[in-house]
Amino acid sequence: MKKAIITFVLSLMPMLALAAGGGYPLDAIETDHSDKASLQRGAKQFMAYCAGCHATQFQRFERVADDIGVPHDLMKENLMSTDSKIGDLMFHNMDGKEAKVWFGATPPDLTMVTRVRGEAWLYTYLRTFYEDKKRPWGVNNKVFPDVGMPHVLMELQGVQIDSCGDMDPTTVDPLTGEKVCGLSVDPKRKGSMDPTHFDRAMYDMTNFLSYSAEPMKLERQSLGIYVLLFIVLLFIVTLLLKREYWKDVH
Ligand code: HEC
């Protein structure tokens, strides 16, 4: 009986993953907050391509610089607008009301986006903008249908074409086992990065936003090890004490 329940729950898992992506399969990634080089690249891209519209206002520039290993003067020069100070929260200057007129929605704060949506969702979202002439910006998104955000990374990725239409994107050819349709960059409108390079850049961006949602993760993990070591030591001391006490009773 127990086995049957477990099998049933496991068989539902892929469906749950699909549900989270609005029906589109999500690409899982393993983020790594100890990879400072990746976090620095992610922060740089975020400031260059996203911070104009999105804030991460629960973070301060100073804390981010210290955590990802960027000296304050370099942070000021490369990753901050000229009117920001190192101790400032990472706000932006966009007027929410105007943004609503331009994009139909206000760009939300992204500090917690990987907690709200999940890392796999964000990683897939950033890589699944595709051409859709019916939409105001000429693009749509696979995991966020009818999104109000333009494809701000088009110069890097190029323009993707969707060959699936209404077909299920997970359909595979029974003979070759390969997917029959999907997103691919139009060879005539390539970006400055090839797909592998672009995926790596989006990994860095997701890694940075995942760090931003949980800046204490590394500290928490290393603290956890000390706590466990302490418990082991306490156990040994208690055991020795117990032996000492019971020696007289026997
Ligand atoms: C030109 C302004 C603009 C820029 C630049 C921009 N975005 Fe957006 N973004 C938006 C708008 C507007 C929305 C809201 C879309 C909607 O609700 O339909 C949005 C939504 C999002 C969402 C969905 C959030 C949610 O949970 O609903 C994510 C994630 C996101 N943007 C990430 C990024 C990243 C990462 C970058 C940088 C590569 C970026 N955006 C650059 C305007 C922008």
User: Is any atom of ligand 1 closer than 6 Å to the C-beta of 64?
Assistant: no
Other Cβ atoms less than 10 A from the Cβ of 207: the count is: 24
Q: Whose CA is nearest to atom 27 of ligand 1?
A: 108
Task: Out of 20-34, 147-161, 217-231, pick the least confident.
Answer: 20-34
Q: Are 99 and 107 in contact (CB under 8 A)?
A: yes
Amino acid identity of residue 127, one-letter, is R
Over residues 160-180, the mean pLDDT reads: 85
Question: Which token pair is 137?
Answer: 């910006």
CA-CA-CA-CA torsion sign (188, 52, 139, 124): positive
pLDDT in tens, 78-119: 888 878 889 888 877 667 777 877 888 889 999 999 999 999
pLDDT in tens, 49-88: 999 899 898 989 999 999 999 999 999 888 888 788 898 8
Over residues 170-190, the mean pLDDT reads: 88
Pocket test for ligand 1, best of 124, 137, 149 (most atoms within 8 A of CB): 149
pLDDT in tens, 120-144: 999 999 999 999 999 999 999 999 9
